[in-house]
Amino acid sequence: MNDNYLTLLAIWNVAVFMLYGIDKWCAKNDKWRISEKTLIGSAFLMGAVGAILGMKTFHHKTRKKLFSALIALAFLVNAGVLVWIERI
């Protein structure tokens, strides 16, 4: 796999991780929130690792079963895409 692609993927996952941290901070401080659609969508757009780490690190959205299930599904989709990319 191309090193540039892996670098971009890592940067994107750090950004997704930060989204979860920012949203948790906003939730604690009664500020404007990042929508669940944005959080889940960022995970499906190859950011599932960042989303999972953000959920675990910030204890954010971990009680929402559907949300957690969608992030797990995003991880599987991300893994499938990576396997597919590696094969082409």
What are the pLDDT digits (tens) for 15-65?
999 999 999 999 999 999 999 999 999 999 999 999 999 999 999 999 999
Q: What total of structural domains would you count in the chain?
A: 1
Question: Which pLDDT value is given to residue 2?
Answer: 86
Q: Are 20 and 54 in contact (CB under 8 A)?
A: yes
The pLDDT score that the predictor gives to residue 48 is 98
Provide long-range contacts, Cβ within 8 A and 24+ apart, for 76-84: 77/44, 77/48, 78/43, 78/44, 78/46, 78/47, 78/48, 78/49, 81/46, 82/1
| 76: pLDDT strictly greater than 80 | yes
Residue 1 has pLDDT above 90, yes or no: no
What b/e readout covers 19-33, taking b as 16+ CB neighbours within 10 angstroms? bbebbbeeeeeeeee
Could you list the residue range(s) of the whole structural domain that residue 80 is in?
Answer: 3-87
Q: What is the pLDDT of residue 88?
A: 83
Q: Which amino acid is at 86?
A: E
